[in-house]
Amino acid sequence: MSNLVAAPALLCFGTGILQLLLHKRVALQRMVALLSALAAIGVSVLLTYTVWTEGIQVRTAGGWPVPFGITLAVDLFGGMMTVLAAIVLFTSVLFMFRDMDRASEQTFFYPVLFFMMAGVNLSFTTGDIFNLYVAFEVMLISSYFLMTLGSTGPQLREGLKYLLLNLAASTVFLLAVTLLYGVVSSLNMADIAAKAAAEPGNPYITLAGILFMVVFAAKGALFPFYWWLPRSYYYVPNAIAPLFAAMLTKVGVYSLVRVFTLIFIHDAGFTHSLLLVVGGLTMLLGVIGAISQYDFKAILSYHIISQIGYMIMGLGLYTTLGLAGAVFYIAHHIIVKSGLFLVSGATSRITGSTDFKDYSGLLGAYPGLAFTFFALAMSLAGVPPFSGFFAKLALLTAAVEKGAWGIAVVSVLVSFFTLFSMVKIFRKAYWGRPSGERVQRGRRDYVTALVPAVLLLALSAGMGLGGRFMMEFSLAAADQLMHPIIYIETVAGR
C-alpha cells in the first residue's frame, strides 16, 4: 500500500487549513497558494509515474481489510486527472494574482479554493462510492462560494440555479448509493463490481446504473441537463472561470467513465448505446448554442458542453481505442479550455468587456494575445499539429472501426462548427479595424496576464508533437479500464 495515493487530496486540504490561519494576510496566502500548486504538480506526477511503473496504487485507511475500510485507489486514468488538476490550478493561480481584487482575496478566497481542489482530487482517488459523493459535496459547496464571489444580481440568480440542480442531483446520488448498497451490501467500488459481475441480470443494479447516469450527466452538463452551465459559467469571475471550465464538469465525466467501465458493464448494449446517443446530442446542441452567441465568454461556455460530448462518445463506443480517445481528449480539453478562458480573461482586462459589440481589432496592439488565442482555438477545433487533432482522430477511427457511422458524422460536423465559431471570435475580437475603449494597463500587466495561457498552449503543442507517447499512455489507461478485473484484484489484494 502507498501513502502517495492520499497526497493530492491531503495537500490541498492541508493548504486550505493553513490558508484559514493566514486569513487577510494576502501576500503570505499568495506565496502558500503558489508553492502548494507547484507541490501538487510534483506529487501528482510522482503518483502517476508510480502507477505507470508499478501498477495501480491502493491505500486502505487504518489497515482495515477491503471492503470494510475507506479505500483510495489510483490507476493511470485517475493519476492523469490529478496531474491535470494540478497544472490547471497552477496556471489559474498565476492569473488570479493578476486579476483578483484584494477585497475578494481577503474573503476566505484561498481557503475555499483549495478545499474545492481537495474535493476534486478526492473524486479522482477514492475507491468508495459513498466517498465519491462526499468528494462531490466538498467540491460543490466550495464552488457555490466561488461562483457567487462578488454577489452581483446575475451571479446570485445563476448560482441559485446551479445550487438547486446540484441539490436535486445529490439527492438522486444518495438514492442510487442506497439502492446499490441494498443489493450488494458494500460501498467499496471494487467489491461492488465483483458482486455486480456475479448478478449480471439483476434489474436493481441496472436501475442503479441509470440513476448514476442521471446524476453524473447533471453534474457533467450532458444532454438534457446542460442548460445550467452557459449562464452560470458566464457570470463566474474571470479569475476563477479557467479552473471551473477545465475541472468541475470533468469530475462528472470522470465518474461516468469510472462506474461504466468498472461496475455497470453487464448490459453495455443498452447503457453504453444510450451514452453514445447522449454524447452525440450533447456535442451537437452545445456547438449550435456556441455559434449563436456573440460574446467571447458565452461561446467558450457553450463549447464546454459540446466538447464533453466527445468524451462521452469514447465511453459509449466502449472499445479500447474509443476509451483511449476519450482519455486523450479529456487531457487535451482540460488544458486547451483552461487556456482559452485565460485568454478571454486577459482580453477582458484590456477591453473591460467580453461582448464583441464593445471592441474589435486587438491584433495590431496585442499580437501575442491574438495568436495565443488562435493557436488554442485551432487545437480545440482539431487542427494539426495540436493535441485536439490526435484525440479526435482516435475517436473517429474507433467509431469507424465499430461501424458507428452516425456518431462519426456528428463528430466531424461538430468539429467544423467549432472551427467556425473560433474563427468568429478571432474575426470579431482581434481582426479588423480597432474600435472600443481600452483599459490603460502597463506592458508588464499584459505580459504576466498572458503567461499562464502561453504555458498551456505550449503544453497542448507538446501533447500534439508528442502524440505517440500520449497515445501510448492513453491506450495503457484504456486497457486498465477495459479490464476491470485488474482494478478489482489489486484493490482486494489478491
pLDDT of residue 123: 97
Q: What is the pTM of this model?
A: 0.95
Query: Each residue of 3-46: pLDDT tens digit?
Result: 899 999 999 999 999 999 998 889 999 999 999 999 999 999 99
Q: What are the φ/ψ torsions at residue 295 (nearest 5 degrees)?
A: -140, 130
Query: How confident is the model over 341-393, as pLDDT tens digits?
Result: 999 999 998 898 889 998 899 998 899 999 999 999 999 999 888 889 999 99
Alpha-carbon gap, residue 455 to 186, rounded angstroms: 44
Cβ burial of 22 (10 Å; 0-12, 13-18, 19+) is: middle
Integer Cα distance of 331 and 388 in angstroms: 10
Quick one: average pLDDT of 271-294? 95
Q: Which residue has the cell 448498497?
A: 181
Least confident of 61-70, 122-131, 164-173, 353-362: 61-70
Interval 476-490: pLDDT, tens:
999 999 999 999 999
Q: Is the pLDDT of residue 263 over 60?
A: yes
Amino acid sitting at position 446: Y
pLDDT band at 63 (very low <50, low <70, confident <90, very high): confident
In the chain, the amino acid numbered 42 is G
**84, 335 Cβ separation under 8 angstroms:** yes
**Taking a C-beta distance cutoff of 8 angstroms, is the pair 124, 139 a contact?**
no
Identify the pLDDT of residue 376.
Answer: 95
Which pLDDT band holds residue 432 (cuts at 50, 70, 90)?
A: confident
What's the burial of 107, exposed, middle or buried (CB within 10 Å: 0-12/13-18/19+)?
middle
Average pLDDT for 411-415: 96
pLDDT higher than threshold 70 for residue 442: no
The Cβ of residue 224 has, within 10 Å, a number of other Cβ atoms equal to: 11
**Residue 71 — φ and ψ, nearest 5°?**
-110, 135
**Phi and psi, residue 454, nearest 5°:** -65, -40
Mean pLDDT rounded to a whole number for the chain: 92
Which residue has 459559467 as its cell numbers?
A: 233
pLDDT: which is higher, 151 or 484: 484
Choose among 434, 307, 416, 304: nearest CA to 370.
434
pLDDT digits (tens, 9 = 90+) for 86-133: 999 999 999 999 888 887 788 899 999 999 999 999 999 999 999 999
The whole-number pLDDT of residue 330 equals 97
| Banded pLDDT at 494 (limits 50, 70, 90) | low
Q: Is the pLDDT of residue 64 over 90?
A: no
Does pLDDT of 447 surpass 70? Answer: yes
Q: For residue range 224-259, what is the model confidence (pLDDT) as tens digits? A: 999 889 988 999 988 999 999 999 999 999 999 999
pLDDT tens column, 133-144: 999 999 999 999
pLDDT the model gives residue 365:
87
CB atoms within 10 A of CB 207: 14
How much of the chain exceeds pLDDT 70, in percent? 99
CA nearest neighbour of 487 among 192, 65, 198: 192
Q: Are 230 and 297 in contact (CB under 8 A)?
A: no
